[in-house]
Amino acid sequence: MNTRLSTSPELTRRSFLKTTTTLAAAASLAPGVFAAGDDTLKVALIGCGGRGSGAADQALSTTGPLKLVAMADAFKDRLDGSYNNLKAAHADRVDVAEENKFIGFDAYRHAIAMADVVILATPPGFRPSHFEEAVRQGKHIFMEKPVAVDGPGVRKVLAAAEEAKKKNLKVAVGLQRHHQKPYLETIKRLHDGDIGDIVAMRAYWNGDGVWVRPRKDLEQKLGRTPTEMEYQMYNWYYFVWLCGDHINEQHIHNLDVINWVKQDHPKLARGMGGRQVRKGIDNGEIFDHHFVEFEYPDGTRLSSQCRHIPGCWDSVSEHVQGTKGLCDVSGYNITGEKAWHFTGDEGKDPYQQEHDDLFAAIRNDTPYAETAEYGAYSTMTAIMGRMATYCGKELTWDDAINSQIDTFPKVLGWDAKTPTEPDANGRYAIAIPGKTKSF
């Protein structure tokens, strides 16, 4: 697989317009119309952590005959815990024999081989190679966001997404707001021109931060000193090659909403960020705040903030200013000439709805592949933001997506060299704007 594909203008400027319509159509198809032959769908879970286990639970809660037949994780205890919980919740539908529980870096290949549908929910650094392999093996796919952590990874996902279309594979990405009724209605109103022409956008993921998995806890668990690879895999959120920084891991949701509203992605990013309070020994190399001004091809600008600092102003939201009104997108509210507020039934939990929609598309063979593209573009938007805050320079979309900086290890293995290594004090190099070339 060539990970150095150049990106065609057609790919870089693809419209996202039709996606919502396609998803809504898939959701409305009558259940019970199955393909000929054995209609039991075999599912494999790759990455049995919090979200993977949740996604498997949601897949197992969809309509129609279905079984979880294989599981894969880097760590045995994660797989065992997930298996026990899923078995307790879905005794009849969890049918994973001991020999179909796979552990380690190569586990994904074996689990994928056993299934019709695969759930990819490892840390995002692995997503491009796992997605590529699932497509190569001809499987339908649910993959969590973000779908990559760097330009080469996004290009690999876009290339595999093209292959998936040719093979008529259904692909869903865990950007669940696209399956959330009030979001769908709000964004439809924006596309219908209810606030006039859009002139400015704001997006925030400001909160306290996320879990830390200390090295000493892993040492206690293993009863020996962990290798550096074991430690980084365990505490993955804090390493760029695995996580992509929190702008990629979490703020992607808000950036994705703005791309959806704009039906496009930015052409430029200018940003600043750093580590003001995230200075613990287990805080790896990521920043605790990023501010990015993204510019879209029509000249409109998105002001984007994401912060992981306790005790500050918190907000996870998106807002859009138009010539005839203002929309609080995440509040499902418009003020102005066509004032409106979403009322009524908010529909199903979007995490369940996204699985209902995917499995309906698989069983009814309706088109369902564009999500990989908007997932890749939204991921690339977040990565471009990180690149801009790390290097401090103005970045174009083409520079960012065509970046040759591949953060993934050359060799995978518990003793293999990690892309970033600690100094004698256990500290990692942190990006310095103005000096860092860029990730």
Ligand X SMILES: NC(=O)c1ccc[n+]([C@@H]2O[C@H](COP(=O)([O-])OP(=O)(O)OC[C@H]3O[C@@H](n4cnc5c(N)ncnc54)[C@H](O)[C@@H]3O)[C@@H](O)[C@H]2O)c1
* Interacting residues toward ligand X by CB under 6 A: 46-52, 72-75, 78, 105, 107-108, 121-124, 126, 144-145, 174, 176, 233, 249
**Between 218 and 320, CB nearer to ligand X:** 218
Q: Which is nearer to ligand X, 126 or 291 (CB)?
A: 126
* Shortest separation between residue 361's beta carbon and ligand X, angstroms: 19
Name which of 132 and 194 has its Cβ closer to ligand X. 132
For ligand X, the closer of residues 143 and 268 by Cβ is 143
Q: What is the nearest approach in angstroms of ligand X to the Cβ of residue 172?
A: 11
- State the nearest-atom distance from the C-beta of 242 to ligand X, in Å: 8
Nearest distance from C-beta of residue 143 to ligand X, angstroms: 9
Nearest distance from residue 259's CB to ligand X, in Å? 16
Question: Closest separation between CB of residue 247 and ligand X, Å?
Answer: 12
- Supply the minimum distance, in Å, between the C-beta of residue 267 and ligand X: 26
Closest distance between ligand X and the C-beta of residue 72, in Å? 5
Residue 258 or 391 with smaller CB distance to ligand X: 258
Residues near 21 by beta carbon (within 8 Å), at least 6 away in sequence? none
Name which of 172 and 190 has its Cβ closer to ligand X.
172
Distance from C-alpha of 78 to C-alpha of 61, rounded to nearest angstrom: 21
Rounded Cα–Cα distance for residues 350 and 365 (Å): 22
Which is closer to ligand X, CB of 27 or CB of 118? 118
Q: Which is nearer to ligand X, 209 or 336 (CB)?
A: 209
Q: Which is nearer to ligand X, 78 or 189 (CB)?
A: 78
Q: Closest separation between CB of residue 123 and ligand X, Å?
A: 5
Nearest-CB residue for ligand X: 49
**Residue placing its CB nearer to ligand X in the complex, 133 or 144:** 144
Choose between 78 and 319: whose C-beta lies nearer to ligand X.
78
In sequence order, which residues have a C-beta less than 8 Å from that of residue 326 and are 6 or more positions away? 195, 319, 320, 334, 335, 336
Residues contacting 179, CB < 8 A, separation 6+: 23, 27, 350, 353, 354, 357
Q: What is the 3-state secondary structure (H, E, C) of the chain?
A: CCCCCCCCHHHHCCCCCCHHHHHHHHHHCCCCCCCCCCCCEEEEEECCCHHHHHHHHHHHCCCCCEEEEEEEECCHHHHHHHHHHHHHHCCCCECCCHHHEEECCCHHHHHHHCCCEEEECCCHHHHHHHHHHHHHCCCEEEECCCCCCCHHHHHHHHHHHHHHHHCCCCEEECCHHHHCHHHHHHHHHHHCCCCCCEEEEEEEEEECCCCCCCHHHHHHHHCCCCCHHHHHHHCHHHCHHHHCCHHHHCCHHHHHHHHHHHCCCCCEEEEEEECCCCCCCCCCCCCCEEEEEEECCCCCEEEEEEEECCCCCCEEEEEEEECCEEEECCCCEEEECCCEECCCCCCCCHHHHHHHHHHHHHHHCCCCCHHHHHHHHHHHHHHHHHHHHHHCCCEEHHHHHCCCCCCCCCCCCCCCCCCCCCCCCCCCCCCCCCCCCCC
Q: How far is the CB of 206 from ligand X (least distance, A)?
A: 17
* Shortest Å, Cβ 254 to ligand X: 12
